[in-house]
Amino acid sequence: MTVPMQRKRILVVGLSLIATLATLLTTARLSADKMPDRANVHAPAPNPAAISMKLSSNGSVDSTESTIDSPDAIVQNGFVIDRHSIALFEQIPDNYLTAAREMGVLFSDRSVGQNVNEALDCLTAASWANAPASCRRDYYDADWNWKTFSAADHANGLVPAQILFDPDPVKYNRSNWTFEFKGGSWSQLTQDFIQVLAPAYVDSKDVLSYQFSYLNVDAGDDIADPATGFFADTPNKYDVHDLEAYIAQHPDKVFVFWTSSLARGIGTQVSTDFNNEMRQYAAEHNKILFDMADIIEHTHEGAACYDNRDGVEYCSGGGNCENHPDDGQNLLALCQNYTTEVDGGHLGSVSGAKIRVAKAFWVMMARIAGWDGGGTVPPTATSTATPTVTGTRPADTPTPTMTVTGTPPTETPTPTVTLTPLPTSLATPPRPTATFAAEMYLPGISN
């Protein structure tokens, strides 16, 4: 073939390719013109039972891709975190720890919530011995003496099991998890969460919750009243129905329900009724429940604890004592093992309860991140020298006076907190207008 003929053939082939490309471009342009503006397309409502976050190969969260059927989904189906969940803390896979710590979290409560917030920081220490002293305190004998356990105690195996933990500043980094101190009545707290607190964080957080304090479940409070309480639908209070209406507006967020905190003197019939109602509601409505009450009303060994109206004297290290007459009732309450207060419920002086709650919190977050909780649960370790509260109160055997030696750190009084002024009267707040879906998924609340 001559050179001119070769050039001609190449030219024909080139023109043909150009024509083909032009046709393809035209077709693509026409197809694009027929497609509606993506910004104006209403995507199908996400299934709130399975909003997902995919994990990249290095375990980090890839928020740019979401698939409903991913095994690494952010889980909104209901589950319960309680005392039985704590043993799973050491079993959490690294990829789910990564996913959990990269999620934004808001939780709110009074001073007990601050104790839990500090316990989450305990888990970020460089080592157990380097954790703050407030993370390493516990009772060490049956006379309710307590101390800060040391590195030497740790090396010699003398640290009570309930304050043992293996911290890691990277694995348990909770810098994306925010605590907000809030106080008020149960209706005020609910109103504040709906109108002030949650709206301030809903764009930046993935998991949101608030908890009711033991002060909200004292004797005489109406929080558990079936006609006027939190689970009733009343026109003059903010209750669970108003909370549901708010959550329904944010199906891409996770909301966690909580049972209340408790105190030595609260254990009451109100706290018992409310916490049982919360458990029932969570079970019937497919919620995520953080059952803090179950954690703090049982010892590390699993024995139930009852209120201090038992005829048994307890004296704190500061010299305060209580010896309330036995009222003949067994009402679940904060274990004496978990506080140095005679009637209160703060978890700051001895560390056992708040460390256990912090571990359970991490298990919850891993479950929300998609972990199924699988793995072998180790047997419950035996606590060293920690006094045991039995499930049955003493009857006829007199109990000697228990005096704590040494001077403990001063308990921090609960500050008086004023809620952010709300636009309507709390006496008769208007109820928001809401249309409820036939079936809603929403997870939790905390103090």
Q: What is the pLDDT along the chain (447 residues), one digit of tens a residue?
A: 444 444 444 444 454 455 444 444 443 433 333 333 322 222 223 232 332 222 222 233 333 222 223 334 455 689 999 999 999 999 999 999 999 999 999 999 999 999 999 999 999 999 999 999 999 999 998 888 899 999 999 999 999 999 999 999 999 999 999 999 999 999 999 999 999 999 999 999 999 999 999 999 999 999 999 999 999 999 999 999 999 999 999 999 999 999 999 999 999 999 999 999 999 999 999 999 999 999 999 999 999 999 999 999 998 877 789 999 999 999 999 999 999 999 999 998 999 999 999 999 999 999 999 999 985 444 443 333 334 333 333 333 333 333 333 333 333 343 333 333 333 333 333 443 332 222 222 333 333
Q: Phi and psi (nearest 5°) for 425?
A: -65, 135
| Contact (CB, 8 A) for 267 and 307 | yes
Tokens found for residue 63: 């928020």
For tokens 């195996």, the residue is 157
Q: How far is CA 129 from CA 47, 132, 305, 337, 379, in A?
A: 45, 8, 30, 22, 25
Q: Minimal CA–CA distance to 206: which of 255, 160, 264, 142?
A: 255
| Contact (CB, 8 A) for 209 and 255 | yes
| Contact (CB, 8 A) for 140 and 146 | yes
The rounded distance, in Å, linking the Cα atoms of 230 and 223 is: 5
Question: What one-letter code names the amino acid at 293?
Answer: A
Which residues lie below 8 Å from residue 209, measured CB to CB, with a gap of 6+?
106, 107, 108, 255, 256, 257, 258, 290, 443, 444, 445, 446
Domain range 58-368, CATH architecture: 3-Layer(aba) Sandwich (3.40)
Angle, vertex CA 310, rays to CA 309 and CA 311, nearest 5: 110
The rounded distance, in Å, linking the Cα atoms of 357 and 283 is: 21
Length of the chain in terms of residues written: 447
pTM given for the model: 0.70
DSSP code for 243: H
Q: Minimal CA–CA distance to 374: which of 123, 58, 79?
A: 79
